[in-house]
A and B are shown apart, each in its own frame.
Chain A
Amino acid sequence: MGREWLTGYLFILPAVVVIAMFGLFPIVYAVYMSLYSWRVRQGAYLGLENYARTLGHAGGAIAFFGGLLLVLVAHWVWTDAFAGGRSELRRYAQAAGATLLLASGVSVALGWQLMTRSGDRAFLQGLVRTVYYGFGSVPIQIALALVLASLLFQRIRGRGFFRVLYFVPYIVPSVASAAVFRAIFSPRPEFLANTVLSWFHIPPQRWLFEARPVTEVLFGGPLRHLGISHVTGFWAGPSLALVTIILFGIWTFTGYNAVIFLAGLGSIPRDLYEAAAIDGASRVQSFRHITVPLLSPVTFYLTVLGFIGTFQAFTHIYVMREPAVRDAVNTASIVIFDTFYKRNNWSLAAAQSVVLFAVILILTLYQSRFFGRSVFRG
């Protein structure tokens, strides 16, 4: 028996050494680094100062992250807390769940306000841009993917051909495809994107060089007529440069999402549609009442995966970033890289990366909490 054990340990040894050194150790070491002053060389012990610098207000940070976690509690109270109980008890539980959800929203918003007052502006702005990027790209790429997948799912010729083509943007190196996007969305009028605009008599845009928010690029003139000179803050929206990067995100991930949806569509029992057809349901109705609800776990999975992806997105943003727009496209992971690479503040970068990891972990928790149940049936 002992020899069997030894063989087992010897077999896993190489893999465990590599993964422990370059996969597990970094987590511990990133936390360790974040507690020191560390600019290229290790300096004095600082305690939580790097976190204080990143998040600004301790109470605000607690309210913010607590609020994010409270969403999970709210969901648990709503669905599971009194699942076996009597119906009126469950109604109370649902009311309590709704109240908790509201409370978590308030807590997140208030906490954020406190944090932005004194936290690291670059990093917190980076988080906001990441949220723009997520909300700008994930819903659109999922909607497009759902349309493509349900079109592909019909009895058509060349399904394999289309599926292969749609997947290509996802698998090619993003450095190279981002380089192509840089050329297509060049600010010069003769390049592809501006040429397409010229067909519709729209003046050439500066795309990746445009730091002004889209609301101003699109409606700047009319708004000024209304006496509004500047929309500022969150509601001004992302810069046109970030919107171009969002377009890249949509282009990359739609095909991937479509392939996953296609697998999900395959698992919906055929007879449901037949039964609906016998009851006189139109195709739109059966799409609305059968396809959409039965696919909602897949949709939710892809949504969370998409948001996690935006929090990690690095390569294409780094490649498409123009110095001219300064920090307009710096999402959270870009900010962390800059803190490390340009500002040479390694411990602050480590603290920021730990915060980002916490956000991603919460998103992952959302996923494991909600995944596998129908979002619509709650």
Chain B
Amino acid sequence: MASVPTGGARAARVRAGAAARAERAGGEPFEFRLSQLPVYFLLLVGALVSFTPFLYMASTSLMTLGETINRRLLPAHPQWVNYQRAWTEADFALYFRNSVVISAVVILGVLVTCTLAGYAFARIRFPGREIIFMVLLATLMIPSTVTFIPNFLMIRGDVIPWSSWINKLPALTVPFLSTAFIIFLFRQFFQGIPDELWDAARIDGAGHLRFLTAVVVPMSRPVMTTAALLTFVHTWNEFLWPLLVTTTPTWRPLGVGLYTFITEAGPQTHYLMAGAMITILPVMVVYFFTQRQFTEGIATSGLKG
């Protein structure tokens, strides 16, 4: 599980390149043997089981109401109108926009706060550095079941007397603007940046902020991408918290929107599946295009709550 670069930045990149090449070349030539037929059979069964719900969703989302209750596996004529109706009449357009805005704000915030903090923990010496870092890391163990009640009071303005954030954008973004896991990820990466670069920058009169923005950040594109992807999926999939803090559709994200649709739409499975498709598709598309960064990043983070 040592997929997070730990050595030098350069070494990490070299290693990642080598791993990618090895994977592509496959190490040894693959040859198909008849004796492996059972292996392929079992793997296909596994793939079928893990993917059938999505195929079912895609198929049902294009059916007519009559087809959904008549044991059809495929629609006779794809009803794209289902998507149109979910999008306009069931407010999915609004939910989608909300999810996009929320994710964008959170990703931006996480990248800024965690880059700064990760850099400080990796390369600046100050008293209490290790202790503060350990305390931050410990927050990763705290389940959201424990934090949601006090946090709800906090954003309602009960703890610090500000006006309530319920149904406003800050309620959905501010609590997520920084996370210890991404700080950890960045710290690991920044520790590997050669000291000579910093020495050279200092001779040129650059301070930490200049060095960070001009040298470190451009070097760190891979780890930043991973961080952005993880944050995107995490934010997009968040449910319990947005459910609590959005009582009106104004800033309701897709997941909660889909849930309200479930509770209100009744047995209109075709629209429901269209809504589920709209909720799932962005994550799935992003995943398919970037799956290598993803699998490794998520495998180390244990994303699901």
On A, residues with C-beta under 8 Å from B are 4-5, 7-9, 11-12, 14-16, 18-19, 21-27, 29-30, 33, 144, 147-148, 151-152, 154-157, 160, 162-177, 179-184, 186, 188, 190, 192, 195, 251-256, 259-260, 263, 305, 309, 311-312, 314-315, 318-319, 332-333, 336-337, 340-341, 346, 349-350, 353-354, 356-357, 360-361, 364
Contacts and interface: CB of A to CB of B under 8 A. Distances in A.
Contact of B276 (A7, A156, A179, A252): A179
B299 to A, nearest CB: 5
Interface string B137-173: 0010111111111110110000100000000000000
Nearest to B120: A11
B146 A156 contact: no
Given A19-B139, A180-B273, A171 B145 contact: no
Contacts of B32: 157
Please tell me the size bucket of the interface on B: 35 or more
Interface in B35-77: 36, 39-40, 42-43, 46-47, 49-51, 53-54, 56-57, 60, 69-71
Contacts of A314: 144-145, 239-240, 305
Given A22-B175, A357-B143, A170 B127 contact: no
Contacts of A7: 120, 124, 207-209
A30 B149 contact: yes
A22 B288 contact: no
B155 to A, nearest CB: 9
A213 B178 CA distance: 43
A192 B52 CA distance: 10
Nearest to B277: A176
B180 interface: yes
Nearest to A360: B143
24 contacts: A9-B126, A15-B114, A16-B117, A19-B179, A22-B174, A30-B146, A151-B39, A156-B30, A173-B283, A175-B258, A175-B279, A176-B258, A179-B262, A180-B53, A182-B262, A183-B272, A184-B56, A254-B50, A259-B295, A260-B1, A260-B299, A319-B262, A353-B146, A356-B145
A175 B145 contact: no
Contacts of B120: 7-9, 11-12
Contacts of B208: 7, 11
B279 A176 contact: yes
B201 interface: no
A185 B277 CA distance: 18
Given A154-B36, A336-B145, 19 more contacts: A11-B120, A15-B136, A18-B177, A18-B178, A30-B146, A144-B46, A157-B30, A162-B47, A163-B295, A164-B288, A174-B304, A176-B255, A179-B272, A182-B262, A259-B299, A314-B145, A333-B145, A353-B149, A356-B143
B277 to A, nearest CB: 8
A263 B1 contact: yes
A15 B124 CA distance: 16
B184 to A, nearest CB: 11
A99 to B, nearest CB: 31
B129 to A, nearest CB: 7
A35 B15 CA distance: 53
Contact of A27 (B146, B294, B302): B146
Given A151-B42, A175-B239, A315-B239, A169 B287 contact: no
B149 A349 contact: yes
Nearest to B179: A19
Nearest to B127: A5
